[in-house]
Amino acid sequence: MENKLLQNGRIIGKDGEVTSADIRIRDGKVTEIGQALGEAGEDVVDLSGKLVIPGLIDLHIHLREPGFEAKETIATGSRAAARGGYTAVACMPNTKPVTDSTEVVRRIIETNEREGCGVRVLPIAAITRGSKGGELTDMSALKEAGAAAVSDDGVGVQSPQMMKAAMRLASSLDLTVTAHCEEEDLLVPGACVHAGTFAEEHGLPGIPGESEAIHVGRDILLAEDTGVHYHVCHISAEASVRLVREAKSRGQRVTAEVTPHHLLLCEEDIPGLDTHFKMNPPLRRKRDREVLVEALKDGTIDFIATDHAPHTAEEKAKGMKEAPFGIVGLETAFPLLYTKLVETGVLTLSELVEKMTRIPAECFGLPWGVLEEGRAADLAIIDLETKRKVEPAEFASKGKNTPFAGWELKGWPVMTLVEGRIIWQETEAKA
Ligand SMILES: NC(=O)N[C@@H](CC(=O)O)C(=O)O
Ligand SMILES: [Zn+2]
Ligand SMILES: [Zn+2]
């Protein structure tokens, strides 16, 4: 097991102030945090003033394995996660086959143990068989095999009857239902962007905000007397936020996540017919974006998840209507949010870090996400000074599909540790 002494780091204190500190790691755990700690036979790592935070936690990503290895594999996706400062990720079940059996859950865990770079990978299992909405999965067996939650992400569960049954079952097993909210009856064929100004200008069929909000509202009602922990995936519409806020004010066990792209972009930012701006849910109105930022700040939206959704360049070249939905996110999330929300004074550094570490961990009952004595030494080391451009060609992910190429950002991760072991480290010479 790992023994290390991390020297000259900077940590965020309980009051949010950044102070210098050394961190001692014994047997993969943080055992001491303090000033000028003496070395006692450990490997000494000089952090030369870099920020040390708990490893980031992303509870909504797509690793594509099994079945879509041209888009991403557990090896490349976990490497992308480590490069982004993530130490734990939860992967959605829209693989081939769908993660609706214990075999696939086990296979993901075993593949990660064998081929992953050391990031913790938590499989999310399907709610319904094949995510087809017709028949519930064996959630009890799936949980036993290691599923961290259930979701039919990629599609919404269309039948309220099915969703209610899923919630009852998930509740009895203490499994979180993490829902892709989309009412298909409100969709038109070929809908590819928000039903708003961009769609109108370009004569494209649009996806209305209500197709999301109607599921959020429906599910909140359905969840009410089941006691289930109901979680809203990639929340994007003002009305959805309003519904979550109302449910929380009544004390219902509802949580929500938001992506970096929905916090930073809206339909007005789509430069033209560029499929790197096509994702589900779509970039919505400026007003929606502003509401999401506010709701994240005030806690209505609990945490940030990237919805990392890699696709091949060939698939993304098919044009707005035909190309698949989705953009990558793991390798840009922290620098994007640090530069655009913390440096601009919208969130404090401490708020941003909590919404990417402690809060997601607590929402899903995971033991990570806090830097304190006694916890696993899952850490991200961040350089808050160096400015660098987003270079998709340098991504560890197979997916280069980002709308943020060329953005000049600060807050880049330089080292990631899981249980005290360095699983990734920036090696390039610094400019
Ligand atoms: N978000 C996306 O645009 N795409 C996701 C599916 C999903 O998260 O619903 C994908 O699997 O590609
Ligand atoms: Zn989804
Ligand atoms: Zn997703």
Predicted TM-score of the model (pTM): 0.98
Question: Which residues have CB under 6 Å of ligand 1?
Answer: 62, 94, 153-154, 180, 279-280, 307, 309, 324-326
Q: Which of 117, 122, 163, 125 is nearest to 141 (CA)?
A: 125
Residue 261: its H or E element = helix 260-264
What is the distance in A from the centroid of ligand 2 to the CA of 426? Answer: 31
Instruction: Check whether 53 has a pLDDT greater than 50.
Output: yes
State the closest ligand 1 atom to the C-alpha of 182, by its place in the atom list counted from 1: 9
Does the pLDDT at position 431 exceed 90?
A: no
CA distance 28 to 137: 36
Ligand 1 atom closest to residue 309's alpha carbon, by position in its atom list: 12
The Cβ of residue 130 has, within 10 Å, a number of other Cβ atoms equal to: 16
Residue nearest to atom 2 of ligand 1 (CA): 326
How far does the centroid of ligand 1 lie from the alpha carbon of residue 233, in Å?
Answer: 10
Collapsing DSSP states into helix, strand and coil, what is residue 51? strand
pLDDT at 430 over 50: no
Contacting residues for 238 by C-beta, under 8 A, at least 6 apart: 209, 284, 285, 287, 288, 291
Q: Which of 288, 302, 307, 383 is catalytic?
A: 307
**Tokens in use for 229?**
């922990």
- Longest alpha-carbon distance in the chain: 67
Atom number, ligand 1, closest to the C-alpha of residue 325: 3
Closest C-alpha to 3, from 35, 40, 50: 40
Q: Identify the DSSP state of 219.
A: H
Residue whose C-alpha is closest to residue 19's, from 31, 28, 27, 11? 11
**Reported confidence tier of residue 129, pLDDT bands at 50, 70, 90:** very high
Expressed in angstroms and rounded, the spacing between residue 258 Cα and the centre of ligand 3 is 11
Q: Which residues surround ligand 3, an ion (CB under 5 A)?
A: 92, 153, 307
Residue bearing the CA closest to ligand 1, atom 4: 326
Q: Is 163 exposed, middle or buried (0-12, 13-18, 19+ CB in 10 A)?
A: buried
Domain parsing of the chain, residue ranges: 4-52+376-425, 55-363
β-pair partners for 409: 388
Which ligand lies nearest to the CA atom of residue 181 in the structure? 2
* Percentage of residues of the chain with pLDDT beyond 70: 99
Ligand in nearest proximity to the CA of 311: 1
Expressed in angstroms and rounded, the spacing between residue 62 Cα and the centre of ligand 3 is 6
Mean pLDDT of the chain: 98
Assigned token pair, 21: 């500190």
- Please provide the CATH number assigned to the domain covering 55-363: 3.20.20.140
Band (134; pLDDT cuts 50, 70, 90): very high
The reply to whether 4-52+376-425 and 55-363 are identical in fold is no
Task: Provide the H-helix boundaries in 22-159.
Answer: 74-83, 102-115, 139-145
Specify the CATH architecture of the domain 4-52+376-425. Answer: Roll (2.30)
DSSP 8-state code for residue 188: -
CA nearest neighbour of 374 among 19, 24, 123, 7: 24
Which of the 8 DSSP states describes residue 308? Answer: B
The two beta strands, 43-46 and 4-12, are parallel
* pLDDT at residue 428, as a whole number: 59
Nearest atom in ligand 1 to 153's CA: 9
C-alpha dihedral over 344, 347, 353, 356, to 10 degrees? -100
Distance in angstroms between the alpha carbons of the first and the last residue of the chain:
34
Annotation marks residue 174 as catalytic: no
ipTM of the complex: 0.99
